[in-house]
Structure 1
């Protein structure tokens, strides 16, 4: 129990201490007009209150990643908790803050355009392709996962018997609607209510396992276990742990979501709470599910058996109903189901906006929005026929690679403005090494090279990227209008 609360306190402390430091390095301007006012269109650029923007941001970024990832990561033991805390504070939250605030400073631009501005046209074209691929994978993962979970819930708790395919159609229909209607009609209106359900799920489950007489929180683990690989199947921790626990520590998917709320935020002073704070909130969710996974089944062997019987979804189902009973279990389970649905719809919405920016297609009319969205849904529907396990593995790698590009983009921005760039460069170096090592070593996704060689090449790739970013920042000495102070007549009163 002590480890959980120490980890949670560390996350909260990270928000107030390191989050304030990051905000100071960036340098906010409370008088600067945000895109929500300068580009209001009633569809995607709509001013929303700070609490509402925070809740929407949290639900946008928190799909099944901060639940499924930490459950799978828990197989390595308490070391998973350590990565969630360190990753969230020093990598994930920093990544999310810069992806959001650089979008605010660049008129609500999506991550490909931001990367292109600070890393060059090659990075822009790469990210346009890669971001669309990632978002389609996210959309498919966040259709298949909740469809299977809802089907399981209905069939287990009622006399009805529905198929997963039926739920896939229902969720896709909702995604189409949420992707094309103005952001304040569904997302801005209902997500705060979903946020309340999410809070109930998180607090309720953690409280239940704390007061339970049948389960001891992380009983049997020692301090040395925090730095050990306890995987029952002796799977290597490096670099797989840092790919497995993605959304609970750092996730490139968030970089595609932050611009959505950058277009709705009323004042730059809200950036730390909305972007950095939402990642800390997601880290707390990841801590809860990692702790439950380490505690509920009595041992790592028990957890491994539960996962083998039905994947991480089975762990969610068993823990929800086992700790909270039928009524509480249904609410908690629905809270988990809502997470991927509220991320899946914004994944397709983000891909629509990225395509619209690339082809320079206005999005004020319904016809234009449908023209961008429908091809994406056709491709997504086709991908749902691919095995979920394969999709998830590719999603994990694509997700972290996108995070790497965003971190290097932030470093280029900071270098260009002679600011302390190590807050993004250090996590960029680490995650570059992780991603390159993983793809070189993986026999299923990559090249199957020996781990030692893969790690050396990963480090070389990271240092090469650092040299490139430094050169790109020095070679781009033009005026950056995103940091130019605005004159009083260009400012609007914010609320």
Structure 2
């Protein structure tokens, strides 16, 4: 099948989902453009900052569009491109976008409270503590994995037969690293200009675009050749400052600039597919069971992850975006719109992988990111862009996908740690509690554990990330069901997604647990790998069951409209 047809059909479906279903949800739940948002009522110049809707959209999209939509769609294609495409579209419209929008909506309606504090309000303190512990540990794994990914992308050296030598892509990787540094500098300049000159509309657009182009030009002209350890140090230093500095100074302007790159990448891929209209060479369907991945249910849903639904997105919606939305009418495009755009990115990744496959259906060799970046770089080269520039641009886009999620998750990890130890009267708190809730201390502790995981091998428990991420989405959905019910809003459209995600998550965890037990029975298991995975899998199931039971009781026992409508 022609990939152009796939992209066009997908784009129409996602747009219709936004225009019809998204708007229906907004109308049903209730949007008040005249209401003062938490960005105004709690404005502090740090986390609560009233911000233009498109800036918040760029922050949301840049933060959630991490490695998942690219790697997930390409890896899941082992089951065939048709089931992957169907889940991206159905999941994106009815699961992922609803979860992201719902989390943002609930948070904005509750003074910008994060998901943990929403659970405390509508479910109870036990649920809050368990959720925040899970959330914080989840962020540590993401920090470790994405920091390692970013540092590896910038790394200019390789080790062969025990000898360190310059990598073939040293110049390209070094240029991507230089671009990242330039991005940070120009983002802060852009942030200051936005603040001092009150930039909006065209002025904001052209200044942001100029800063983006300048960063790309300087980075490509002056590549920095460095090893992985040096870039790991740089990455952790950056996310420390991104976590503690005011949103308007670094995080938001950098996300806005990054969106220009993502737009260029997506536009380049779309135009390339329109012009070249390559065939989808991957098989439509390969069977319910895959030798490497396992059964389509639940593995397909866990693997596609962010391209259809992701629990991490709700942490961004309720943790950072909700504190910067300046008007409730912006919530639809920020929460729902950013997710359907990410689903389109997943569709493009699937099509690029399909075009790169051999005519007999054999998948291209390489990691999902290598397949995607080389495929889009080839499409960009068709328009006369020098291959070095195209490769630098795509390498930077790949690293930016991880880096923008990384700085968001570092901030969310810090806030989760603070909320875990905070009390209602924090202004009068003393001693260890006040010390741990200090934003610098909580950031250092969070990043220190993330760094340790990077060094000791986060990969030992990484296979459980997909299940943990989907468990997070299921817990968020059940919390939203309670919130909507007790505030007198319609929650029936969330019941089915919630039940399905719970089934997917627990089936995946049970299957993984049984496989690990069998590995120990056969004597092939290693404690630091399979042993750790088994412990984490059991903990996830226990935690999930406790929160689901607690939430389920509240959902069944509380009367509709029993609390004041916020």
TM-score, normalisation: structure 1:
0.86
2:299 corresponds to 1:257? no
Q: Matched residue pairs, number? A: 463
- Match 1:8 to one of 8, 11, 14: 11
- Match 1:120 to one of 112, 117, 124: 124
Q: Could you say which residue in structure 1 is the equivalent of 2:421?
A: 359
2:124 corresponds to 1:65? no
Q: Could you say which residue in structure 2 is the equivalent of 1:490?
A: none
Q: Could you say which residue in structure 1 is the equivalent of 2:107?
A: 103
Q: Could you say which residue in structure 2 is the equivalent of 1:323?
A: 379
Which protein shows a greater Rg?
A: 2
* Structure 2: distance between partners of 1:279 and 1:410: 17
2:168 corresponds to 1:156? yes
Q: Could you say which residue in structure 2 is the equivalent of 1:139?
A: 143
**CA spacing shift, 1:470–1:133, aligned 2, 3 Å:** closer
**CA spacing shift, 1:470–1:236, aligned 2, 3 Å:** closer
Deviations along 1:258-313, one digit per CA (max 9) or x if unpaired, are: 1201000011111111101111111111111111112212268632x614xxx323
Q: Could you say which residue in structure 2 is the equivalent of 1:493?
A: none
**1:83-232 to 2 correspondence within 5 Å?**
83-151=87-155, 155-158=167-170, 162-212=226-276, 216-219=278-281, 221=283, 225=284, 229=288, 231=290
* Structure 1: distance between partners of 2:123 and 2:169: 52
Q: In terms of mean alpha carbon deviation, does 249-258 or 203-212 score higher?
A: 203-212
- The answer to whether the 8 A contact 1:75-1:230 is kept is no
* Structure 2: distance between partners of 1:69 and 1:465: 27
Q: In terms of mean alpha carbon deviation, does 329-338 or 396-405 score higher?
A: 329-338
- The answer to whether the 8 A contact 1:36-1:265 is kept is yes
SS at match of 2:88: helix
- The answer to whether the 8 A contact 1:77-1:231 is kept is no
Deviations along 1:156-180, one digit per CA (max 9) or x if unpaired, are: 3446763222211111111011011
* Structure 2: distance between partners of 1:20 and 1:448: 49
- Match 1:290 to one of 350, 365, 374: 350
Deviations along 1:137-186, one digit per CA (max 9) or x if unpaired, are: 11112111122122269943446763222211111111011011000000
- The answer to whether the 8 A contact 1:442-1:448 is kept is no
SS at match of 1:46: coil
**CA spacing shift, 1:372–1:465, aligned 2, 3 Å:** closer
* Structure 2: distance between partners of 1:232 and 1:206: 33
Question: C-alpha displacement at 1:418, in angstroms?
Answer: 4.0
2:563 corresponds to 1:480? yes
Q: What is the RMSD computed on CA atoms of the aligned residues? A: 3.1
Structure 1 residues without counterparts, runs of 5 or longer:
450-460, 485-495
Q: Could you say which residue in structure 2 is the equivalent of 1:273?
A: 333
**CA spacing shift, 1:183–1:465, aligned 2, 3 Å:** closer
2:402 corresponds to 1:340? yes
Structure 2 residues without counterparts, runs of 5 or longer:
158-165, 175-224, 381-386, 520-542
TM-score, normalisation: structure 2:
0.75
* Structure 2: distance between partners of 1:276 and 1:17: 11
- The answer to whether the 8 A contact 2:97-2:335 is kept is yes
Q: Could you say which residue in structure 2 is the equivalent of 1:236?
A: 295
